[in-house]
């Protein structure tokens, strides 16, 4: 598959992820709650995996691409190109959501941006007062888990492709159920960047670094760990 086709798929897929997941949080979060938002993100990933997975792998997330790179499954050049497509797709989707919210007369507010601490969430019901270290830990650990599942189900030697997309989507749903009350769940720098740009929460941009660094750290560790535990013939008996 040509790189331009892969980048178009990543742009489109990441835009759909933001529209589906963040759009649900912004427009219907009060009705469907944390469970509904978690399902929205998970279902979007399932749809993307089966829709465009054969074109680009449906990473839709710079952390996923980084983990795949560290694991040795893609080049640095291709990874950087994926990053650009993913971030641009997320920003375009966030801009669409922003325009729709404005047209409906809604207050922009936090705009489904990621953050941590009582100062960010303002004591909103259901949210917990995690500090910076707790937020970093949960984002890194859950990204690690996410990448271990992705690397496992996409392993060409052992993967069951028929159910790979479902496994990834359900894992993302679980991740959101765990961490929405703590950070609004990132595990995806593109999703975090796009929402922070349009958020009216004054802490969204200052806290953004964590939602870029922590997922990348977790993804890198997963890329290394999966290679170690799946070394097969290279392992010493």
Predicted confidence (pLDDT) per residue in 106-117, tens digit: 999 999 999 999
pTM of the model: 0.95
Q: What is the mean pLDDT of residues 200-218?
A: 98
Distant-in-sequence contacts of 116-119, Cβ < 8 A, 24+ apart: 116/182, 116/183, 116/207, 116/210, 117/203, 119/203
DSSP 8-state class, residue 20: I
Task: Summarize pLDDT for 118-156 with one digit per residue, the tens.
Answer: 999 998 999 999 999 999 999 999 999 999 999 999 987
Predicted local confidence at residue 159, as pLDDT: 61
Predicted local confidence at residue 117, as pLDDT: 96
Q: How confident is the model at residue 230 (pLDDT cuts 50, 70, 90)?
A: confident
Assign 41 to helix, strand or coil: helix
C-alpha 14 chain-centroid distance: 9
Q: Is residue 233 pLDDT above 50, yes or no?
A: no
């Amino acid at each position: 598959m040509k790189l331009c086709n892969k980048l178009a798929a990543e742009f489109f897929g990441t835009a759909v992820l933001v529209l589906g997941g963040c759009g649900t949080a912004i427009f219907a979060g009060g009705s469907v709650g944390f469970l509904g938002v978690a399902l929205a993100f998970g279902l979007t990933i399932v749809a993307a995996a089966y829709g465009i997975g054969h074109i680009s792998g449906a990473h839709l997330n710079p952390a996923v691409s980084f983990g795949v790179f560290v694991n040795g499954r893609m080049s640095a050049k291709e990874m950087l190109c994926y990053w650009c497509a993913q971030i641009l797709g997320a920003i375009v989707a966030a801009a669409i959501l922003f325009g729709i919210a404005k047209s409906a007369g809604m207050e922009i507010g936090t705009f489904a941006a990621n953050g941590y601490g009582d100062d960010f969430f303002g004591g909103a019901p259901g949210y917990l007062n995690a500090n910076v270290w707790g937020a970093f830990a949960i984002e890194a650990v859950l990204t690690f888990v996410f990448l271990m599942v992705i690397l496992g189900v996409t392993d060409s030697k052992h993967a069951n492709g028929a159910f790979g997309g479902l496994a990834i989507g359900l894992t993302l749903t679980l991740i959101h159920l765990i961490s929405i009350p703590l950070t609004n769940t990132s595990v995806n720098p593109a999703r975090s960047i796009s929402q922070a740009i349009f958020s009216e929460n004054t802490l969204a941009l200052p806290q953004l670094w964590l939602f870029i660094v922590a997922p990348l750290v977790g993804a890198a560790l997963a890329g290394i760990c999966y290679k170690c535990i799946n070394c097969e013939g290279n392992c010493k008996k």
